[in-house]
Amino acid sequence: MAPRSKVVLLGPQRLHPTLNLAVDALGVHGRIAAITAGWEEREGEDQELSAHLGGRTINLRLWERAADVSARDPELLRGWRARIDAQREIHEIYKLRLGHEMECARELLRREMQDPTRELVLAECEGAIEAVRQLDAFHLKRTRAVHDEFMELWRPHERESVARHRREIAAILREVECLCVAGGHVARLVDHLRLFGIFGLMPEMPVVAWSAGSMALAERIVLFHDSPPQGPGNAEVFEVGIGLYHGVIPLPHAAKRLKLDDPLRVRLMARRFRPAFCAVLDPKTRLDWNGRRWRGETGTLRLCEDGKLAEVNAA
């Protein structure tokens, strides 16, 4: 997917909504398409969102449309499920390998931080982080292959069960000035965006996304939590995203999900995903992509390789 020229990423909207301000700043005065498929069965409960935007939203109802496709096209559904099963298995294997690689990288980074002058350790640490990066890249390649194979084999956009919805969606998208993509379940969301090939149908217009919405639109989807109830809390590359923008790993709810005061974890994450920067997308934050570069609203932070946080614009 070629990057779009206008993408805005916002922090979570539930308690501190700023979407209306972002839309106003984009000069959008007309109707706005909304995607809330990440909310799954609550997709239609978008009254607050609609009211927040002055009642001018049209929900693309991707969750509901996908249910219709499943009911009408059981053959495609079987293929869809087989793809998800394959992807799940690949991901389990990736996690197994990742656990070992991350344990090693974390330990060497700990040693590097204890004595940053020891070149022997520096080289080993860089190598360990590079091994994680290579594993991430390999996993991404594997998940991309699964997607490509599915698209090649089933050609969902050409099947009438999907094509009829695509025609309706395309008609809606011709009537709106902006698209907003809400959060929720990131795997479901990206699946639905892909099933209907939303961005292939969309004329040039600004896209505003938050939480899982911002993650689904990235080049790669990175799942993260530093202190889950079980396990070491290794961030995972989940799969390829839509690729609507480049260069950022969005981290919604970062203050809650990450130990941002732990220099080792911050440092490791920043080094693992460079040259992309890891953006802290907490409430009231905002990042603007103009097709070439990012600009962050004051207070929007990124993870730095020295283990600290810094303003995005200071990069």
Partner 1 sequence: MTQLLHELERRARTRPWDVDALLAQHVFPVVEGRNVTFVYRGEAEHVRLQHWIHGLQSAQPLTRIAGTNLWALTIDLPEGSRMEYKLEVEQYGHKRLVQDPLNPHLARDPYGANSVAYGAGYAPPEWTLFDAESRQGELVDHWIQSDFLGKRPFQVYLPARFRRTRRYPLLIAHDGADYVRFAGLKTVLDNLIHRLEIPPLVVALIQSPDRLREYAADDRHARFLVHELVPLLENEYPLVGKPSGRALMGASFGAVASLHAAWKHPHFFDLLALQSGSFVFTDIGDHQRGPLFDPVVKWVNEFRKAPGRPSERLYVSCGKYESLIYNRSLVPLLQGTGMQVHFSEAPDGHNWENWRDRLREGLSTLFPGPLWLVYE
Kindly determine how many residues on this chain lie close enough to bind partner 1 according to the rule CB under 8 A. 24
Least gap, CB of 207 to partner 1 (angstroms)? 17
**226-255 residues near partner 1, rule: CB under 8 A:** 228-230, 236, 238, 252-253
Given the rule CB under 8 A, which of 2-10, 18-26, 59-67, 207-215 is the region that contacts partner 1?
A: 207-215
Interface with partner 1 includes 215 (CB under 8 A)?
A: yes
Should residue 17 be labelled a site residue for partner 1 when binding is judged by CB under 8 A? no
If binding is defined by CB under 8 A, does position 135 make contact with partner 1?
Answer: no
- Interface pattern 180-199 for partner 1 (x via CB under 8 A): ---xxxxx------------
Q: Give me the 24-43 binding string for partner 1, x by CB under 8 A, dash otherwise.
A: --------------x--xx-
314 binds partner 1 (CB under 8 A): no
Q: Which is nearer to partner 1, 61 or 166 (CB)?
A: 61
Phi, psi of 269 (to 5 degrees): -65, -45
Least CB distance to partner 1 at residue 84 (A) = 12
Three-state secondary structure along 16-55? CCCHHHHHHHCCCCCCEEEECHHHHHHCCCCHHHHHHCCC
Q: What is the CA radius of gyration of the chain?
A: 20
Residue the block writes with tokens 């969102």: 49
- Judged by CB under 8 A, the chain residues 253 through 282 that form the site for partner 1 are 253, 256
Tell me whether strands 236-240 and 178-181 are parallel, antiparallel or unpaired. unpaired
Residue 15 touching partner 1 (CB under 8 A): yes
Of the two residues 24 and 40, which places its CB atom closer to partner 1 in the complex? 40
User: Considering beta carbons, is residue 6 or 253 the nearer one to partner 1?
Assistant: 253
CB-based contacts of 307, cutoff 8 Å, min separation 6:
113, 263, 264, 266, 267
Coil/strand/helix, residue 207: strand
Query: What is the number of other CB atoms lying within 10 angstroms of the CB of residue 163?
Result: 13
Q: Considering beta carbons, is residue 12 or 156 the nearer one to partner 1?
A: 12
CA separation for the pair 138, 133 (Å, rounded): 9
Q: What is the CB-side half-sphere exposure of residue 66 using CA atoms within 13 A?
A: 25
**CB-based contact 250:280 (threshold 8 Å):** no
Q: Using CB under 8 A as the criterion, which residues of the chain lie in contact with partner 1 when the complex forms?
A: 12, 14-15, 38, 41-42, 183-187, 211-212, 215, 223, 225, 228-230, 236, 238, 252-253, 256
